[in-house]
Amino acid sequence: MEINKRIDEMRDELIASTQEVVKIKSVEEEKKEGMPFGEGPAKALECALKISEKLGFKTANIDNYAGYAEYGEGDDYVAVLGHLDVVPEGDGWKHPAYGAEIHDGKMYARGTLDDKGPIMAALYGLKAIKDAGLKLNKRVRVIFGTNEETGSKEIEYYLEKEKAPVLGFTPDAEYPIINGEKGITIFNIVKDLNAKSNGNIIINTIKGGNAANMVPDKCHAELTAKNPQEIVKAAEEFVKKTGYDIKVEVEGNKVNVKSVGMSAHGSLPHLGKNAIMQLFAFLLELNLGKCDVADFIRFMNENVGMETHGESFGVCLEDEASGKLSFNIGVVDINEEKALMTLNLRYPVTKKLDDMMNPFNAKIDGTGIRVENFVHQEPLYFEPEHPLIKSLQKVYKEQTGEEAKLLSIGGGTYAKEMPNIVAFGPIFPGKPDLDHQPNEYIEIEDLILNAKIYGHAIYELAK
């Protein structure tokens, strides 16, 4: 087909344009005059729009929040939505993180895969349609976002100024097609601690975890004990029994207990080991006496423990499209006044928030535990028969020869921010997901194949 032939002819241009844009360090920085997310993202946007102009597209810069390259006529438009901002490069790179060097058929740089390479591939896919003179019935916009990694605030701004697309995709996940993204909640559960311990062991503080959406790999408790050796002995027996990594240090009558687990993403808590809940399990082995903090620890042990789907809490929702609810305790902060935990629950795509929160609230009723700082993102779900899904499946099969299976994920993509969009590529099945990793790269052949798939997908949606 002409689209593929034209992309092959533009191969070197596509590679060079991708290199040009990934060389710009576009991590969010302090806001500057006319640069809502700092200099880096604004520079990357300017670069992408210059490339788009050179390719003959009409362009627009929406106050450095976002911009787009546009082609075609018509009231309605089809969109490809990608982002030019990146996460910090971090350490451990074998090639310069913004060098865009090519080694063994791979281009190395932060953003090659997430998401500058894929959005350049889509831009060249549209250029191939333009050069082939293919007739479209809808306008097409390749939209460049600049804040996906730190809040997607630019999409809100874009939608205040522009109408939404009627159909489209974001090249910022994996193939074949992600038609479902779970509902995401992050919130605190809080209990005031009034009744203090009268036992031999007093809990002064418990702290652990970094973020709601990470399985905590460390948690630490500071206790005061009349007989610290009792705790040392209990820890030895507990470690033998469970295999958990619990260490105890004694200084006079102060006892420090450290729990080490294994981190994982909050959407996949079963892949980690929760250091907070390991520590809670150990504390229940001790004689904590009658007090509010002991009641809180007991409640969490009995109703969560090391479970990751909310079974004992009564919130283990499940559907065929996206599997079971995920239940992650990400942060704990307990002092003498208050117990606070930050939870990240993600519920199946065909369920409603009330399906989860009604049983959740029933479970904490009468315990003195309350919910605070509740943040919610609705699930996203496109039925398998939806025209957008059918069109993308057809293109994927034609271009790769593989069946386009539908995926549902626990994470959230740009598709949740912009109406009528699903996540489509760029990572092929079996290939590593190098997003946010050191030595992020895109294989040159994958960059080219993405351009072909995206070109055909745009044509299919806009013809």
Residues carrying an active site annotation: 85, 148
Measured in degrees and rounded to the nearest 5, phi and psi for residue 454 equal -70, -35
Q: Could you give the C-alpha distances from 354 to 60, 296, 311, 376, 417, in angstroms and in order?
A: 41, 24, 17, 12, 22
Distance CA 153, CA 146 (A): 9
Distance CA 345, CA 137 (A): 42
DSSP letters for 131-159: HHT---SSEEEEEEES-GGGT-HHHHHHH
Distance CA 222, CA 250 (A): 10
Non-local CB neighbours of 179 within 8 Å, separated by 6+ positions: 321, 381, 382, 383, 384, 386, 389, 406, 407, 408, 422
Distance CA 193, CA 328 (A): 23
Q: Could you give the C-alpha distances from 372 to 308, 340, 342, in angstroms and in order?
A: 21, 10, 9
Calculate the CA dihedral of residues 395, 400, 406, 407 and round it to 10 degrees: -130
- The DSSP call for residue 320 is T
- The DSSP call for residue 35 is B
Distance CA 19, CA 406 (A): 32
Distance CA 420, CA 168 (A): 6
One-letter amino acid at 385 equals E
Closest CA relative to residue 303, chosen from 367, 207, 260: 367
Alpha carbon distance, N-terminus to C-terminus of the chain = 15
Distance CA 116, CA 56 (A): 20
Closest CA relative to residue 332, chosen from 202, 218, 180, 176: 218
Where do we find the tokens 């004990």? 225
Half-sphere exposure of 20 (CA within 13 A, CB side): 16
Measured in degrees and rounded to the nearest 5, phi and psi for residue 447 equal -60, -45
